[in-house]
Structure 1
């Protein structure tokens, strides 16, 4: 079974759902000695199977698959959807799109994905937004798959350890994209990664992966010195040649309007998906701050036509531009070179 000690470099490319993580990115990070991850979020089980097959053609080294754990949305939060939809209608009209009036249940094709990973195991599976049930965790363990849980608090860490996880990804508030809280409505803690890492280390005896705001060598070195067995980087790879980052997202990450030191940078928002996520501050996050109900994935599906239209039009003022606090340090280039450069700087 794969362990973090098996990595030549203790550097993990974070799973970035929505297209940024690709088999090519996984293979490139693997070739540099790190560990690449596929993102199963927002994909069907069949599409995930195709990504796994392509990854195996590109690399013979171990890789991981990340699963979004589904959860039922609180009825009170769902009751807030019509009001938020009404608020977004003028923007939808301006972009020439319609917003869904009804959003069917979405469980992320969970059962089919777990079944596929049992039939055709991968070396490592990680979980975001929660934990599998005990039977699912035991079944994956039985086929030789190591399991890693994303946690944002000591309480989540203890629950993951009790389930028999092999390692934990400790995700600090500096992370780009969704904060992986185990409850949709939970307001994530603001405790910096270093303090959160220490708190989790004190309560569970598992190997820890540090994630959040680690954009350069000194930050990586500090996380490893603080007791992390490895680091997980997402934003650092968004500009990689092999990443599937949307063109508008790439452009924003290097646009002086977003990178100027005077710009306030990133914000935490529920406006795009209903879950707390960190991205570049733009007009959309400003207009709808504090307005979206904590309904996930319902808000995600509600705003999907808006976000897609904004991306097609290059409207970075209305796109979701996930990025961690260290986004100004991201650099373009081959992912293997990015990995090696960061590791040299860390050493």
Structure 2
């Protein structure tokens, strides 16, 4: 038996496991598979249009009756700075030359839009059971509309102060995102990545500070990690990196190879890829330009100049400029169907609880 059933009862899932909403590698197929395994499937919507989000949720609804989590960014947008963009492109000029790309050719702007009226209308139409946010919460009026649509709201906290703020501003569930976690830091009341606690230091302090259920995220990739999170007071876990090599993920071949070869020391926190700190397996541009560069334009504009380089390198089978977002437990990922992986994770955790109880 699960020692804390609050997330299971709240989300109405078989297991208190949340598939992390990994933009770019998760779509309806992985959400469906994770849900079929008993987890809460999370659809990342920050890089897709309202129409695409509607289409994806409809596909999920046709295949499973399980609850759905739609995930959004809610950062405060920053206008592109032409001077800084030009300086950034100059910093990357040797790569443009190496790959034979015209630096003067027009480039599509990076698309990572914050939650807005249009997406809120989609949420009101589709009524997903859960809506999660990264980088805080959107405008209070939008949060009110999401809740009025019958959706539970959750968001990530990287420090206790953020968790308290989230609870005070309407979050029904808090994801305690430790420093080990892959992808973008969910920080919004701090910009100091050096002070971010690890998952197993953060979780019990967040649990003690708030009344709502807490989900542990970061460095959890097997039954031992799940059991440890519950021992520290978590009511659930969010897992991402362990699913990256599942056949249902959209990770391209060379990236799968890089992830499979990664070790415990292969990931770094970088701002080079998007302009905002995020953890991933170090690639060429992260090593040579960063991992933290003062030249990188503000989020998400750093990704704009990298776009043509990413496309050109991937055509050559290289991931020199590709986001390889992953957490410190990336080497513990497995190549198995997501539903099977979910049941394996849950089963291992339950066995651990049984052993501890005995």
| TM-score (normalizing by structure 1) | 0.90
Q: Is the 8 Å Cα contact of residues 47 and 112 (structure 2) preserved in structure 1?
A: no
Matched, 1:163 2:169: yes
Identify if the C-alpha distance between structure 1 residues 128 and 109 changes in structure 2 by more than 3 Å, giving closer, same or farther.
closer
Residue 111 of structure 1: which of 105, 112, 117 is its match?
A: 117
Residue 244 of structure 2: which of 238, 243, 253 is its match?
A: 238
Partner of 2:96: 92
| Distance in 2 (alpha carbons) for counterparts of 1:106 and 1:322 | 15
Partner-residue secondary structure (3-state), 1:34: coil
Matched, 1:81 2:94: no
The alignment of Structure 1 onto Structure 2 pairs a total of residues equal to: 339
How far residue 31 of structure 1 moved from its aligned partner, in angstroms, is 1.5
Q: Is the 8 Å Cα contact of residues 73 and 184 (structure 1) preserved in structure 2?
A: no
Partner of 2:46: 41
After superposition, where does 1:168-179 map in structure 2 within 5 Å?
Answer: 168-179=174-185
After superposition, where does 1:209-228 map in structure 2 within 5 Å?
Answer: 209-228=215-234
169-178 or 299-308, larger mean C-alpha shift: 299-308
Partner of 1:182: 188
Identify if the C-alpha distance between structure 1 residues 41 and 149 changes in structure 2 by more than 3 Å, giving closer, same or farther.
same
Partner-residue secondary structure (3-state), 2:279: strand
94-103 or 141-150, larger mean C-alpha shift: 94-103
Q: Alpha-carbon deviations, 1:75-129, whole Å to 9, x = none?
A: 8x87533322210121122223355579599644732111111122111000012
| Distance in 2 (alpha carbons) for counterparts of 1:194 and 1:232 | 13
How far residue 62 of structure 1 moved from its aligned partner, in angstroms, is 0.6
| Distance in 2 (alpha carbons) for counterparts of 1:188 and 1:274 | 16
Identify if the C-alpha distance between structure 1 residues 318 and 110 changes in structure 2 by more than 3 Å, giving closer, same or farther.
same
| Distance in 2 (alpha carbons) for counterparts of 1:25 and 1:236 | 12
Residue 8 of structure 1: which of 14, 21, 28 is its match?
A: 14
Q: Is the 8 Å Cα contact of residues 44 and 109 (structure 1) preserved in structure 2?
A: no
| TM-score (normalizing by structure 2) | 0.88
Matched, 1:306 2:312: no
| Distance in 2 (alpha carbons) for counterparts of 1:40 and 1:159 | 24
| Distance in 2 (alpha carbons) for counterparts of 1:279 and 1:104 | 19
Partner of 1:27: 32
Partner of 1:316: 319
| Distance in 2 (alpha carbons) for counterparts of 1:158 and 1:202 | 10
Partner of 2:62: 57
Partner of 1:254: 260
Which 5+ residue runs of structure 2 have no aligned equivalent?
1-5, 351-358
195-204 or 59-68, larger mean C-alpha shift: 195-204
Partner-residue secondary structure (3-state), 1:80: helix
Q: Alpha-carbon deviations, 1:19-47, whole Å to 9, x = none?
A: x1121211111122111110102111111
| Distance in 2 (alpha carbons) for counterparts of 1:118 and 1:78 | 37
Residue 341 of structure 1: which of 337, 341, 344 is its match?
A: 344
Q: Alpha-carbon deviations, 1:38-70, whole Å to 9, x = none?
A: 010211111111111111111111110100113
| Distance in 2 (alpha carbons) for counterparts of 1:167 and 1:155 | 15
Partner of 2:355: none
Which 5+ residue runs of structure 1 have no aligned equivalent?
none
